[in-house]
Structure 1
Amino acid sequence: MKVARVQNVVLVLLVVFSSLAIGQGFGTRVERSVMVPMRDGVVLSTDLYFPDGAEGPLPAILIRTAYGKTSTIDWNPAYRALISRGYVVAIQDVRGRYESGGDYVVAKGRREDGYDTVDWLVSQDWSNGKVGTAGCSYLGETQIVLAAAKHPNHVAAIPMSASSGFYAPGRAWSSFDGGVFELAQTAGWFASNGTQIFYGPPPSIDRQKWFRSPASKLFSQAPKIDFDAYLKLVPTLPTFNILQRAGLPPTEYEKWATSLPDGEFFRTKDLAQSSDTFNVPAVFMDSWYDYGPAETIEMFRLFQENAQSETARKNQFLIIGPSTHCGYTEATERTIVGARDLGDARLDFMDIQLRWYDYWLKGIDNGITEMPKIRYYVMGLNKWKTSASWPPEGTTHQIWHLNSGGHANSRNGDGLLQLAVPPSNGSDSFTYDPAFPVPSLGGHTCCTGTETEAGGYDQSEIELRDDVLVYTSDVLTKGIEVTGALEVILYVSSSAPDTDFTAKLVDVYPDGRAFNIQEGALRMRHRNSLSEAVLMEPGEVYEAHLDLHATSNYFGPGHRIRLEVSSSNFPRWQRNLNTGGNNFDETEWEVAQNTIHHSAEHPSRIVLPVVE
């Protein structure tokens, strides 16, 4: 009993000291469902969390979400900490979602609505005229496009996992990879979050009064979704209408699934463009096993290069950890990402967030702007490192060539990964049958709703398939840190007029476990352009460039570097049916004989950025 009492006292003291450490001092007063007017007359429902008893004027943190404002307050422990620290936290349903008026169109009108909301916040009598923004994923995207709008009162941002907010050609909204449709991720997101139907009051009833009344809570605003029906249809054809066939409410999924990767549909979406300029200090956060660390790195660069002031240019920061989507607070003394042990990856993200907003919104000189410009976690080495620039100082590029005796099929084959160029002509062939695709296992994805989960997993079983070519280095006698952008160049031919090629970088441990590090794909019709399609001539050899995005991984002594090459990774990526048709609306397929060529004339290779 005494031990229990002592433990309780210790627990109370820890809570008290933890509260003091984050500056807890104020309680919370909430004004729910405040209708904020936009320039076109549409009102957006916003919950305002006030620090009860705090004397104004007060700074505000704006969080704009497509996922329902009510639950968002508890997504990040920093939100409640900010309230207790004297901030007004405003959480808003974006246009057309939940309690907000207007029509919901994904990635449309976000910069105007964000701008108008900041206008409204700073016009309130409690405001000190400074607004920061916060949030992960879609909530991070809304920060990116608001930053492009350059509201003078938007003075600080922390976009987390917000890579989809940037228009990278062929990667718009992270829905394609090398022209291959991200089936599981895109369909899964739309099935869960894409409905355009929300039940609200008739126009004659005051929207704010309605949503503040108990009557509005008697029914769900969103229609019921039969997610199980959707999951059963993911493996079926055609792919463009699986949500419709599952009986789900209307979404924009069909437009996503049937548009060109770099076509007019995606170009007109409200995403930050390389031509945009910015003027807000920002801390970009992402993860190596999330879907877009390479795009986050590009946004970090863009905010520096296109800054409209020296203050903004000098105050861009980048932090990339080892977790999956929005998993920053999940790191422990033994951080497991998927099935891969990545050691003690803890970082005080709470402290970084609170000090960042304190500096820019309250004027507290706490030294936060003196932190390293770039912090990144080296997986395998299991250590945080810093850099003043990207790529990190001392980066060189190693070229590892593919070679074999003609039988690289499976990890039991003779595929080699070597620094020397193969002296003679060689090739490896495999049969790609869309009816039996290579299954997805881990990787860089999210939101699928399927058994496809992000992270590092042992690929050994997949590497037993004959339709997976496996090229492996000798055992390393010296460790290699690979940090930065990855590219695979393959010389390929096929019996089909169109097919896909996939590549996966793998770290082979001394005990034989083979963990996926990064992966990429290319739909061959898009080998020259992601905005138009050109089919192949069967049997002709083509040069194919596969973007494997970015990573940071240490291949230690005793490990081996491995590259897997195939033509599918399903259901992460939509299968190419090898017909030369649209794929998305087809129900028939052809079996393809695909070949990788490797020689001095056809130097198939992977280019690794190595940090000395």
Structure 2
Amino acid sequence: MTIEVQRIGPGPLSPDATQYMVRMRDGVHLATDVYLPPSPGPGPAVLTRLPYDKCGEYTFMPQIAAYFTARGYRMVVQDVRGKFRSEGETLLFVNEAYDGYDTLDWVINQPWSDGTVGMWGDSYYGYTQWAAASTGHPALRAMVPRVTGTRLGELPVPAPGQRTHDVEMSVHRFYPLSMFHDRDILDWRIDWTRRPLAAQVEEFFTAVGSRSASYDLWFPHPVSLRRFPAGSPFDAPAVPVLMTIGWWDNCAAWQWSDHRELQRRPAWARNEYLLLEAIDHENTSHFEPGVPASVQAMAGRYLDPAIEFFDVFLRGRDADIPRVRWQLANTGDPALRPSPAWPPVSAYERVWRPAGAGAAVGGPPGGTLDPVPGDRAAPSGEIALSGPAGEIATWIHDAADPVPSPVTDPFAFLREFPDERDLAGRPDVLVFTAAAVPAPLDLAGPVRLDAVIGSDGPEMDLFARLLDVAPDGTARLIARGQQTVLEPGAAFAVTIDLGHTGYRLPTGHALRLTLASSDAPEFVPAPGTGEHRWTAVKTTPNRQRLALDQTRLTCTVLPG
């Protein structure tokens, strides 16, 4: 089979910017665009370091720079090492800390700088902010990492002594084969049904005539990349940080992990601000589903919070920024709700228990999702592994016919925002539906599933999805989570983190919980043999089991 590759090189230089080749400490020069405001005297600068082309159409940096400069900021946009116009080796993660430090040094020594810098950006160019912060550079006074995380793209491997880890996303190993193979972006497709997957990668290397250093470091024997050579960013001096997290961002788990780390450290906790939006990774809004994000359409909601934040922490403006601002999706009102904490102080936990093993397989509504008396969650870990035998729901996971991912681009989930009712009709999906709510139910906070599962296979993936079911049967995603269990045996207690949400379930709608063991190709399915997912040639069906009487769904809700 022929591998077709489209190479996307750098876009034309912006006439509004001046490009400099900025020298790093090892002599490598990084291509850096500087955009100046109409009055270019000394003032604060905003720095963005990204791998997606500082001049390309994908991230529309010239338009973003125009928005910042119109408000008096100097905008500095840089291709990271080894990408597009920058020199050096193309390698994920490992050079961003000290390259960030050296770039900050260069910025504050320019005549248009007053010595204060903020950093801004999404995804990988949110990660580069944390890398720079890890060095403790004194000029970095504020940062706005959006839809990102310090563990962004980290390979899911179990910690020593652990039997669980994150499920491997297909993008984990594909990203260094497309975005970080060499200086350009290489657009190509893997056939996720053709095994072994690793053989297609070798075909790709033959087609382009080179290998990816980042991929080779991760496969077949992964090397732990030293992301933060100066030390953890959470151990560095605290910097005011505005964390933007999307309810439907498929990378949100990494940023919620960062939030938990920040809250454990008093200095960082005092400097953390949350902006919780009803968006996906590509900034499509739930309030405008199906509308692709464009800087012209979303400039206000995309950039104004950052400018407000920089006005306070770079310019010293006297203004009160709420610790938390969040959107309640499915209300028709995109207004940001202020709160002193997250979840809101009035929120509490409600618990549901799945029942009806026989009805759970075969189509919606499936089994039931029943409220647990007392309406409060039991402390995590109270589920018992022993006791009287209860209801057991079973299903077959077959990697040769996995449950399909509901969207073609999980990073832009809300562009499609699919009706998922048909997936619930598959025999390898368990379905449990609650009674319709008699009044609106507002979810505001974390969602989790505590379960006891088992398998006759050597490993087991469990995917949990919480859905909003309308009276006409339409089923749309509210929250989701997944976990891999090694050697699950007959009974293994697992907690699935479904992330956080702010979502209104309208009157007459119902909650639905679906459980499965695949979501392909967004996640690489377990072959059922225990072999590496990228080298397995054959697959073996596994019988999975769920102890219903020891399974609980816990949602955080608002009163009334």
Task: Please tell me the TM-score bracket, short chain as reference.
Answer: 0.7 to 0.9
Instruction: Report percent identity of matched pairs.
Output: 25
The letter of the residue matching 1:500 is: D
Amino acid at match of 2:316: G
**Of 411, 430, 433, the match for 2:363:** 411
Q: Tell me, in whole angstroms, the C-alpha distance in 2 between the residues paired with 1:285 and 1:187.
A: 25
Who is 2:255 aligned against?
A: 296
Assess if the C-alpha contact under 8 Å between 2:282 and 2:411 holds in 1: no
Distance 1:485 1:313, change over 3 A: closer
| Pairwise CA distance, 1:235 | 2.5
Asked whether the equivalents of residues 28 and 84 of structure 1 are also in contact (C-alpha less than 8 Å), the reply is no
Q: Structure 1 residues 287, 101: CA separation in 2 closer, same or farther (over 3 Å shift)?
A: same
Residues 87, 338 of structure 1: CA spacing in aligned structure 2 closer, same or farther, 3 A cutoff?
Answer: closer
Residue 496 of structure 1 is matched in structure 2 by 457
2:124 is equivalent to residue 163 of structure 1: no
- Give 3-state SS (helix, strand or coil) of 1:565's partner: strand
Q: TM-score, normalised by structure 1?
A: 0.76
Instruction: Tell me, yes or no, if structure 1 residue 51 matches structure 2 residue 33.
Output: no
Residue 512 of structure 2: aligned partner: 562
1:294 shift after superposition: 4.0
**Structure 1 position 429 matched with structure 2 position 381:** no
Partner of 1:321: 277
1:359 aligns with 2:312: yes
Deviation at 1:443, TM superposition (A): 9.8
Structure 1 gap segments, 5+ residues each: 1-26, 199-221, 526-534
Report the aligned-residue RMSD.
Answer: 3.3
The residue number in structure 2 matching 1:68 is: 53
Output the CA distance in 2 between the equivalents of 1:298 and 1:79: 30
TM-score calculated relative to the size of structure 2? 0.83
* Match of residue 546 from structure 1: 496
Matched-pair contact (CA < 8 Å) for 1:277–1:306: no
Contact 1:431–1:592 under 8 Å retained in 2: yes
Question: Hey, what does 1:521 align to over in structure 2?
Answer: 482
Provide closer, same or farther for how the CA distance between residues 474 and 569 of structure 1 changes in structure 2, counting only shifts above 3 A.
Answer: same
Asked if 1:606 corresponds to 2:556, the answer is no
Equivalent position of 2:444 in the other structure:
483
Shift in Å at residue 110 of structure 1? 1.0
1:345/1:377 contact within 8 Å kept = no
1:349-392 deviation digits (Å, cap 9, x = unpaired): 43323233233333344x2xx13211111222344422111222
2:406 alignment partner in structure 1: 441
Q: Secondary structure at the match of 1:356?
A: helix
d(CA) in 1 for partners of 2:41, 2:443: 50
Structural mapping, 1:371-382, within 5 Å: 371-382=321-332
Residue segments in structure 2 that go unaligned for 5+ positions in a row: 1-13, 159-163, 374-386
CA contact (8 A) 2:97 2:227 kept: no
Where 1:446 maps in the other structure, the secondary structure is helix
Would the aligned equivalents of 1:289 and 1:443 in 2 still touch at CA under 8 Å? no
Residues 170 and 435 (structure 1 numbering): CA distance in 2 closer, same or farther, change over 3 Å?
closer
CA 1:45–1:376: 2 relative to 1, 3 Å? same
Contact 1:492 1:597 in 2 (8 A): yes
2:244 — aligned with what? Answer: 285
1:180 is the counterpart of 2:167: yes
CA distance in 1, matches of 2:512, 2:406: 16
The Cα of 1:74 is off from its aligned counterpart by: 2.8
Residue type at the aligned position of 1:145? A
Structure 2 counterpart of 1:436, one-letter code:
D
Give the letter for the 1:235 counterpart.
Answer: T
For the residues of structure 1 that align with 2:394 and 2:260, how far apart are their CA atoms?
Answer: 40
Is the Cα–Cα contact under 8 Å of residues 39 and 116 in structure 1 kept in the other structure?
yes
State the Cα distance separating 1:288 from its structure 2 match: 0.9
Matching residue of 1:9? none
Rg larger for: 1
State the alpha-carbon separation in 2 of the partners of residues 257 and 418 from structure 1.
45
Structure 2 Cα separation of the partners of residues 354 and 414 of structure 1: 48
> Size of the alignment, in residue pairs?
516
Query: Following the alignment from structure 1 to structure 2, what is the Cα–Cα distance between the partners of residues 423 and 345?
Result: 56
Offset, 1:584: 2.2
CA 1:553–1:236: 2 relative to 1, 3 Å? same
Deviates more, 1:376-385 or 1:582-591: 376-385
Tell me, in whole angstroms, the C-alpha distance in 2 between the residues paired with 1:541 and 1:331: 40
